[in-house]
Amino acid sequence: MKPFEIAGLPPDELNSFLAGTHSDPFRILGPHRMKDGLLIRAFRPDAQKIDIVLDRQSKEAIAAEKIHRDGFFCASVPAATRDLDYRLRLTNWNGSESLMRDPYGYGPLIGEVDLHLFAEGQHWQIYEKFGAHLRTIGDTTGVHFVVWAPNAQRVSVVGDFNGWDGRVNPMRKLIGGGVWEVFLPGLQEGAHYKFEIRTHSGALLLKSDPFAFFNQHGKSTSSLVYNLERYVWSDQAWMDSRRKRDWPKSAISIYEVHLGSWRRRADEGNRHLSYLEFVGTLLPYVVEMGYTHIELMPIAEHPFEGSWGYQVTNYYAPTSRFGTPDELRHFIDKCHQAGIGVIMDWVPAHFPKDAHALAEFDGTDLYEHMDPRQGEHQDWGTLIFNFGRNEVRNFLIGNALFWLDKYHIDGLRVDAVASMLYLDYSRQAGQWIPNVYGGRENLDAIFFLKRFNEVCYERFPGIITIAEESTAWPGVSRPTYLGGLGFGFKWNMGWMHDFLQYMSLDPIYRRFHHGNITFSLIYAFQEHFILVLSHDEVVHGKRSLIAKMPGDEWQQFANLRMFYAWMYGQPGKKLLFMGGEFGQRHEWNHDQSLDWHLTELPRHDELRRLVQHLNYTYKREPALWEQDDSHDGFEWIDFHDADNSVVSFFRKSAAGEMIVFVVNATPMVRHDYRLGVPAPGFYREIINTDAETYGGSNVGNYGGAQSEDRQWMGREHSILIHLPPLATVAFKLESL
């Protein structure tokens, strides 16, 4: 030992370590070769005494000398035992003893290939390496922690296992990639932990694990060690069939759900239901109603209830509000066994500024842009990911793959895509920075979205990705090799806006706004569209769907029934937000259950039964979905009758099956309305929203109408029908 050294260390190094500023803990702690053997150093403030146990089978041990009162110990081991597989025996202040491996006796565990792939942004199974993983090394089990914090001076794992003291378990920095790791032997599942990060300015940050599989929500924000390898899936039949599905040519009817407010237990303090309870409540309801998919509003962990899940703090952790990760997987598993697909909202556009999460993660703008003109959403008070950084793209694409892999998610609906595509989104002149070509397109985000779609479809055939994109950006749902963004589907926000505006008008004025209901057919086949009536349309003073409808109560329900059947007739897949199916009166409130008592009232239950009938009819008839993306599947019969606010069209399957739709958007009954039809035969009435069973006035067509050889509306054949008030009727051609 050199002069002025303490336990083989210069005093300034020891003091730096004790002050928590040393950046290389493996230089300080663990075994170190000396001329006369090994020098083993350990730091345990909770230990009164530490012995180095040389042989597990005997009680031979060497007492370590306590060098510093804070708990720094050092022991010299003879040269003959310099390669010894030793353990530390800790005697705590209460006299209890524990035997453990030395965390600082292990070499690096994450490989160079992993670091290289992460640095270039292409480690697609990054979730298998980063975060907290239960591992067995030799004969010892423990937890391997890995985190990316390239600009930190020091990173430590802190938790309930080390008194939240950042000096006890500092991590090794792997040179080059800015990645830190440590293996803590003996640590078990359920341990609460965070990363304590010391910045170069001397600030101490306490951060949740960006790759945590389980995390607390609300005011408590610790990450929890969780084993994701335990669950055994029982949905192989669904997964096998999913790979073969051609979703653009399949029936898709989605029930959009906010789990926290779908149903609550008022008798138990208005509590949420759990993932396990949804298996016995939500799932049977969705099956009964005839939907094909459930879309879950964001279920990744988020502290703020009022964000509805769109301000995510832990991208790899399902929210603990409703239970454990395995309980969520059990719910998804049961959905698949029941033939229901599960889509989840995914939020790569922005993240919140919560101090425990991603914002300024290592004291610098790591995940976000430094310049607020690029890195901050002023409308939402959130931060924008730096899509130009390889590691950030890898974090996000890896997260998408994680949900598809570990949770068997069937689809990802990407939130706020428009905000990602445009640098000037919701910004005034001078508040944004043009791209390298002087344009407003966010080239980094475009590259990210294309790569995200390519990798997801390549690695998980049969899944779908959906863009919430509200502009006329071309090719959103076209393949990237054709210049598109590569999404499977796009929400049709234009259809939703135009039709809701039309439906809110008093019928006497609708004839002046006839273009609202025809314009969407101009672009209906340019994308793979989903027609949506989403949560965004029933909040913030926009009123519920039933409350948007004009007229007295009977007319409101008649209008909404007409609208729903019209929607099912239009080209495009379908989505309806929860509560809309039974005419929820109040705007959606995320803190309260839906008003399920309304289903005990006739008109609300009759509306629900109509939606159920529409779903079953829709799934049964290929004409309504098989050619959604082609002009071959839709043809106008007459869209000129603006004075009567009547439109008619027909849908056609690839095999030539035809269904004719006629909409009467006024409260006038139109008897003996002659309609040109595409072919001769009997047209059986399969939908009539004015039927008595749905709460209507029961004006109908006695089961259907036989065509006549009489030219009308430019067609060789026609039928004579009765159009009910404020109603949609549909007829299927039975024979030619």
Q: How far is CA 467 from the centre of its chain?
A: 12
Locate 404 and state its tokens: 């598809």
- Say if CB 718 and CB 712 are below 8 A apart: yes
356 in Cβ contact with 206 (< 8 Å): yes
Tokens of 712: 């009308």
From the number of C-beta atoms within 10 Å of its C-beta (0-12, 13-18, 19+), residue 694 rates as buried
Tokens 């081991």, residue located: 77
**Active-site hit among 209, 362, 468, 685:** 468
DSSP 486-543: --SEEE-HHHHHHHHHHHTS-GGGGGGGGGGGTTHHHHTTSS-EEEEE-GGGGSTTS-
Over the Cα atoms of the chain, what is R_g?
A: 32
E strand or H helix at 445: helix 443-459
Measured in whole angstroms, how far is the alpha carbon of residue 526 from the centre of its chain?
Answer: 26
Residue 468 among the catalytic residues: yes
| CB-based contact 735:693 (threshold 8 Å) | no
Task: Provide the H-helix boundaries in 272-354.
Answer: 275-280, 282-289, 325-337
**Is 537 a catalytic site residue?**
no
Among 293, 308, 400, smallest CA distance to 341 is for: 293
Nearest to 461 by CA among 208, 221, 618, 242: 242
| Tokens at 310, concatenated | 């769109």
CA distance linking residue 175 with residue 181, whole number of Å: 11
Tell me the backbone φ, ψ of residue 377, rounded to 5 degrees: -90, 105
Residues 600 and 577: their CA atoms lie apart, in Å, by 20
DSSP 8-class letter at 305: G
- Residue holding tokens 């598809």? 404
d(Cα 727, Cα 441) in Å, to the nearest integer?
Answer: 44
Q: Find the angle CA(261)-CA(263)-CA(266) to the nearest 5 degrees.
A: 100
Q: What angle do CA 209, 215, 218 make, to 5 degrees?
A: 115
Per annotation, catalytic residue among 165, 362, 415, 606? 415
Which sequence positions are flagged as catalytic?
415, 468
